[in-house]
C-alpha cells in the first residue's frame, strides 16, 4: 500500500490563538472522510511562526512536506485532495 | 450561527493587538503604532479584502484605534495613530462605552427587507397573497411583487412560499442584537444606542466585516505593569478551556506576562453559590414564586434597562467577579486588578465596581502571548494558592450556576431549575412574561446566560466550543465538590 499522507495541525500557542483552535475538528473529520489513507494529528509548535513576523500567517498546517499558511479547514482538505490525485 | 465559529475578522483583530503590544514594548511606541497599517499592507502588498490598499490601511488604522481603547467614532480622521497612542498613555481610566463601530469597515448592508427572488413561479395557489395581512404582495406579470410602502417586513409570505422563493434580507448586526440597540443610521452605517445596549457583544460576532470592535484596555494594563504596579489576574472559569495547556501551566504563562499573582474567579463563585443558595431558600420560605440568577453581566443590564419588572425576582447575590475582587483587594490593597473575561459585558460590570480596575478578554490574552512568544504547553506548572469547587469551576457551562445552587439547597425546599441558554428575542419575550405575570410555570430557579452554551460560548473566547467544553470538564471532574470543600 502507498505511504499514508501525514497531516500535522500546529497547536502551538501562536497557531492556536490565530485560528488552529478551529482546526481541531479536522482531527475528527479527516479520518472519517479519508479512512486510513491520511493520518492526522495535533502537534506542538512547528516553529514556523517564530521567524520574524510570520505569526501573521498562522495558523500553519503541514500536509506531508507542504506548509499550508493561514490554514482553514477548506485549504487543508484541498491540499489533501491534491496529494491524493 | 454556530458558537465560536472561525472568522477571518478575528484573525485581523488579533494581528492588530499583537502588533500594538509589540509596539508598546518597543523603544518607540507611538511611531511604531503609526506604522502598523503600513507594516501590515506595505507597498505592493496584495489587497485581500477591499477596493485598494489605501482603504485597507485606513481600516487597519481604525481597528488599531479600538485596540488602543479609543472610540473610532470620536477620533478625527486627520489624527495620526501616534497621537491616539500618546493619548492612550495619558488616560487615567478606560472609556465607559465598551464598543465602537468602524464606519469605514461597515459596508452599510442593504436595509433589512423581504425580497422576491427569481425562483418565484407566479403559481396559482399564491399563498403569499393570502398570508399577507397588509395587502403588500401581489402577483403581477407572472411574479410576486412587494409594495414597499405597505410591507412591514413580517416575513409571513416567505414562510408560506412553496418554492422558498421569498427571502428575508437581514442586516447581521441588527438581526443579532436581542434588544434593537444597533441599527443602520441615516448614512447607512451601523450605530449603537448605548441607552439600550446591554454589551452582550452579539453584534461583534455577527458582523461579517468585523466592523464592531471592543475598546481594548490592554495598553492601560501594560502601562500599569511598566510603572511597576502590582497587577493581579483574576481568571473567570471559562478560561480553563481556552488554551492548549493545563490550568497550572496557564497560571505560569500569565505570570510570565508580568502579572504578580493569579486568582481563580471560581473562588468567588463558591461565595456566590453559598449566598445564592441561602437567598433562594429564604425567598422560597417567604412564598416567592421564582428567583433568577444574577451573575451574567449582559442579563443584569437587560433587566435594568429593558425588564425592570424582573428586578424584584433577580437574586441580590453578587457575581463571582465581585467576591473575587473583594478578596484580592483585601489581601493586596495596593494591587491593580484585572478580570480575565470571556465576554464584553463584564467590562460594563467592572466599570461600576471599584475593586475591578481592568478587563481583558481571552482573544486579547492570546494576542499578548503571541506578542511575547509564550508557549503555554512548554510552561512549568504553578499551583493556585486557593481551592475552588467543581461546581464553581463549572459556572462557565450553561446550567452550571443553577446546578451549583441546587447542590446546596436542602432537600425539603423544592427546587426546579429553568435554563435560559442564550438571550435572543424569544427568550427575552419569555423573561418579560415571567416578570409581568410574577410566575414562571416551568420552575422556580431561572438561570440566565446571555451566550448560548454559557460563558464558554462567550463572544471573546479563543477555543472552539466542543474542545473547550471537554478541557474544562476534565478540570471540573478532578475538583472536589463544594459539599466536600465545606467540610
* Mean pLDDT across B146-159: 92
- CATH number of the domain residue A41 falls in: 3.40.30.10
Report the number of distinct structural domains present in chain A: 1
- CATH number of the domain residue B205 falls in: 3.30.70.20
Higher pLDDT, B190 or B419: B419
Q: Please tell me which residue of chain A has the smallest CA distance to B375.
A: A13
* Assigned domain for B2 exists: no
| Cell reading at B60 | 487597519
B334: pLDDT strictly greater than 90: yes
CB of A54 less than 8 A from some CB of B: no
Same domain, yes or no, for B225 and B367?
yes
Contact A17 B462 (CB under 8 A): yes
Q: What does the pLDDT read at residue B133?
A: 94
Same domain, yes or no, for B212 and B233?
no
* Assigned domain for B458 exists: yes
This complex has an ipTM of: 0.91
* Mean pLDDT across B238-267: 97
Task: Mention every residue, 6+ apart, whose C-beta is less than 8 A from residue B72.
Answer: B62, B65, B66, B100, B101, B102, B103, B213
| Model confidence band, residue B1 (pLDDT cutoffs 50, 70, 90) | very low
Q: What does the pLDDT read at residue B5?
A: 62
CB of B377 less than 8 A from some CB of A: yes
Angle at alpha carbon of residue A62, lines to A60 and A65, rounded to 5°: 135
Contacts of B360 in chain A (CB under 8 A): none
- Kindly report the average pLDDT of chain B as a whole number: 94
Same domain, yes or no, for B132 and B17?
no
pLDDT tens-digit map of B7-43: 788 899 999 999 999 999 999 999 999 999 999 999 9
| Cell reading at B408 | 446546596
What pTM does this model have? 0.93
* Assigned domain for B1 exists: no
Report the number of distinct structural domains present in chain B: 3
Query: What are phi and psi for residue B351, nearest 5 degrees?
Result: -65, -25
Contacts of B376 in chain A (CB under 8 A): 13
> In whole angstroms, what is the distance from residue B84 CA to residue B95 CA?
13
Host domain of residue B416: 220-486
Same domain, yes or no, for B199 and B241?
no
Q: What does the pLDDT read at residue B104?
A: 80
Q: Please tell me which residue of chain B has the smallest CA distance to A12.
A: B375
pLDDT tens-digit map of B33-72: 999 999 999 999 988 888 899 999 999 999 999 999 999 9
Contacts of B205 in chain A (CB under 8 A): none
**Contact status, residue B359 vs residue B339, Cβ threshold 8 Å:** yes
- How far, in Å, are A49, B265, B274, B391, B475 from residue B485 at the CA level? 43, 16, 12, 11, 16
Q: What does the pLDDT read at residue B111?
A: 77
Same domain, yes or no, for B156 and B49?
no
Same domain, yes or no, for B164 and B224?
no
* Assigned domain for B294 exists: yes
| Model confidence band, residue A1 (pLDDT cutoffs 50, 70, 90) | low
CB of B56 less than 8 A from some CB of A: no
> In whole angstroms, what is the distance from residue A56 CA to residue B40 CA?
9
Q: Please tell me which residue of chain B has the smallest CA distance to A28.
A: B467
Amino acid at each position: 500500500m502507498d505511504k499514508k499522507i501525514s497531516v500535522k495541525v500546529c497547536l502551538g500557542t501562536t497557531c492556536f490563538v490565530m485560528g488552529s483552535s478551529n482546526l481541531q475538528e479536522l482531527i475528527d473529520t479527516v479520518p472519517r472522510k479519508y479512512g486510513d489513507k491520511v493520518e492526522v494529528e495535533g502537534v506542538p509548535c512547528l516553529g514556523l511562526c517564530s521567524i520574524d513576523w510570520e505569526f501573521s500567517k498562522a495558523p500553519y498546517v503541514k500536509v506531508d512536506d507542504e506548509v499550508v499558511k493561514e490554514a482553514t479547514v477548506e485549504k487543508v482538505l484541498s491540499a489533501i485532495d491534491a496529494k491524493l490525485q | 450561527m454556530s458558537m465560536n465559529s472561525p472568522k477571518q475578522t478575528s484573525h485581523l483583530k488579533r494581528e492588530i493587538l499583537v502588533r500594538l503590544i509589540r509596539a508598546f514594548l518597543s523603544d518607540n511606541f507611538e511611531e511604531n503604532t503609526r506604522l502598523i497599517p503600513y507594516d501590515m499592507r506595505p507597498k505592493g502588498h496584495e489587497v485581500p479584502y477591499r477596493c485598494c490598499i489605501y482603504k485597507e490601511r485606513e481600516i487597519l488604522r481604525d481597528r488599531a484605534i479600538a485596540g488602543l481603547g479609543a472610540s473610532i467614532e470620536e477620533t478625527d480622521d486627520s489624527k495620526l495613530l501616534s497621537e491616539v497612542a500618546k493619548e492612550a498613555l495619558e488616560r487615567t481610566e478606560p472609556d465607559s462605552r465598551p464598543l465602537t463601530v468602524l464606519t469605514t469597515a461597515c459596508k452599510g448592508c442593504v436595509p433589512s427587507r423581504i425580497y422576491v427572488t427569481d425562483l418565484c413561479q407566479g403559481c396559482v395557489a399564491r399563498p403569499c397573497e393570502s398570508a399577507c395581512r397588509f395587502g403588500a404582495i401581489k402577483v403581477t406579470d407572472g411574479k410576486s411583487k412587494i409594495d414597499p410602502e405597505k410591507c412591514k417586513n413580517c416575513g409571513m409570505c416567505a414562510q408560506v412560499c412553496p418554492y422558498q422563493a421569498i427571502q428575508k434580507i437581514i442586516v447581521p448586526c441588527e438581526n443579532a442584537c436581542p434588544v434593537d440597540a444597533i441599527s443602520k443610521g441615516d448614512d447607512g452605517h451601523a450605530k449603537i444606542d448605548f441607552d439600550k445596549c446591554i454589551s452582550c457583544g452579539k453584534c461583534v460576532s455577527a458582523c461579517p466585516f468585523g466592523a464592531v470592535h471592543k475598546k481594548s484596555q490592554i495598553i492601560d494594563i501594560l502601562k500599569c505593569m511598566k510603572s511597576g504596579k502590582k497587577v493581579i489576574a483574576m481568571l473567570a472559569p471559562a478560561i480553563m478551556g481556552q488554551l492548549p495547556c493545563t490550568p497550572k501551566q496557564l497560571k505560569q504563562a500569565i505570570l510570565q506576562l508580568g502579572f504578580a499573582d493569579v486568582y481563580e474567579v471560581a473562588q468567588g463563585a463558591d461565595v456566590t453559590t453559598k449566598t445564592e443558595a441561602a437567598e433562594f431558600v429564604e425567598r422560597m420560605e417567604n412564598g416567592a414564586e421564582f428567583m433568577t440568577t444574577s451573575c451574567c453581566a449582559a442579563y443584569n443590564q437587560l433587566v435594568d434597562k429593558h425588564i425592570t419588572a424582573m428586578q424584584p425576582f433577580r437574586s441580590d447575590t453578587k457575581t463571582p467577579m465581585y467576591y473575587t475582587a473583594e478578596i484580592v483587594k483585601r489581601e493586596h490593597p495596593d494591587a491593580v486588578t484585572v478580570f480575565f473575561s470571556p465576554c464584553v459585558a463584564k467590562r460594563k460590570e467592572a466599570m461600576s465596581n471599584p475593586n475591578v480596575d481592568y478587563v481583558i478578554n481571552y482573544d486579547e490574552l492570546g494576542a499578548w502571548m503571541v506578542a511575547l512568544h509564550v508557549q503555554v504547553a512548554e510552561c512549568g506548572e504553578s499551583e493556585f494558592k486557593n481551592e475552588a469547587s467543581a461546581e464553581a469551576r463549572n459556572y462557565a457551562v450553561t446550567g452550571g450556576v443553577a446546578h451549583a445552587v441546587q447542590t446546596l439547597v436542602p432537600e425539603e425546599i423544592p427546587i426546579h431549575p429553568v435554563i435560559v441558554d442564550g438571550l435572543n428575542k424569544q427568550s427575552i419575550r419569555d423573561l418579560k412574561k415571567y416578570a409581568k405575570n410574577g410566575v414562571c410555570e416551568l420552575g422556580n430557579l431561572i438561570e440566565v446566560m446571555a451566550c448560548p452554551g454559557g460563558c464558554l460560548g462567550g463572544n471573546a473566547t479563543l477555543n472552539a466550543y466542543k474542545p473547550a467544553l471537554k478541557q474544562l470538564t476534565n478540570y471540573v471532574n478532578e475538583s472536589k465538590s463544594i459539599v466536600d470543600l465545606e467540610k
